[in-house]
Amino acid sequence: MQLEFCGLSKQFGVHQALRDVTLTVPEFQALAIIGPSGGGKTTLLRLIAGLEIPEKGHLCINSQRLESDEEALLAHRRTIGTVFQAYNLFPHLTALENVVLPLVKVHGLSEREALDTAGALFERFQLGGHAQRRPAELSGGQQQRVAIVRAIAIKPRFLLFDEPTSALDPEMTAEVLDFIVELRGEGRDLIIVTHNMGFAREVSDYCLFVADGEVQDSGHSSELFRNPRNPLLVNFLAKVLRY
């Protein structure tokens, strides 16, 4: 897929989250967005997801401009799968019901179609034994895997991940990252905000470094990590890869 940012700016109160971001991201399958906390990477992801509207500028996805009226944004959101760091599962529903509900209420599948779709995905991704459990009865890694299944059940154009492992311990982190690698291996298009530099380097083919509300550097991941040019990126990698 391809992205084009044309003068994107977004402000929250007095905080300028993004400032005149203008960039064409060439063809990619997996895009990693990295950078320091508060630098603007999650805001950029939420603009791509249609969850935020820029004050200025616009963006294009696969050469199609994303309009900012509510009808267009709603239609856009229904075609992509978004996975948040906090899972966003309904606590009173079972794992299976968390996947079935949006298929029926938002995407118009019949109850039978939704159950068949969700059930097949639960079996495929080794979640069948957890289908009738509520989120509180699942580990963090299992909850995040259910959230990913919910995202792919709608057959999205592409998947967005916002720090999908930030709330997980190392073992659960590896479990979820393996899951995402498997999705990439299926040929799915992914955009991932992550603080895990090893994962960003290995799973993505293109990378954006976002700091101080701007895309400070970008390029093919292998080259960007091997030979960072921007001083901010050099300093950032030196800090996060120190231990």
Section 13-28 average pLDDT: 95
Task: State the chain's mean pLDDT as an integer.
Answer: 93
Would residue 7 count as lying in a domain? no
Q: Are residues 171 and 208 in the same domain?
A: yes
What pLDDT does residue 67 have? 94
Task: Name the residue with higher pLDDT: 26 or 173.
Answer: 26
Q: Are residues 74 and 147 in the same domain?
A: no
- Please report whether residue 17 resides in a domain: no
Do residues 243 and 173 both lie within one domain?
yes
CATH assignment of the domain containing 239: 3.40.50.300
Would the pLDDT of 227 be above 80? yes
Q: Tell me how far apart the alpha carbons of residues 242 and 121 are, in angstroms, rounded to a whole number.
A: 39
- What's the pLDDT tens digit per position in 151-162? 999 999 999 999
Q: Read off the pLDDT of each residue in 124-134 and give the average, rounded to a whole number.
A: 91
Let me know if residue 222 belongs to a domain: yes
**What is residue 9's predicted lDDT score, i.e. its pLDDT?**
97
Domain stops at, among 155, 187, 205: 155
* Within-domain flag for 2: no
How many domains, the chain? Answer: 2
* pLDDT classification of 14: cutoffs 50, 70, 90: very high
Asked if residue 4 belongs to a domain, the reply is: no
Q: What is the pLDDT of residue 41?
A: 96
pTM for the complete prediction? 0.93
Question: Could you tell me if 96 and 76 lie in one domain?
Answer: no
pLDDT of residue 134: 96
Question: Could you give the percent of the chain with pLDDT greater than 90?
Answer: 79
| Rg, C-alpha atoms of the chain | 18
Local confidence band at 243 (pLDDT 50, 70, 90 cut-offs): low
Q: Is residue 59 part of a domain?
A: no
Q: Which of these three, 155, 177, 196, is where a domain ends?
A: 155
Read off the pLDDT of residues 82-97 as tens digits, 9 standing for 90 and up.
998 877 899 999 999 9
Domain range spanning residue 123?
91-155
Among 108, 138, 155, the domain-final residue is 155
Same domain, 150 and 172: no
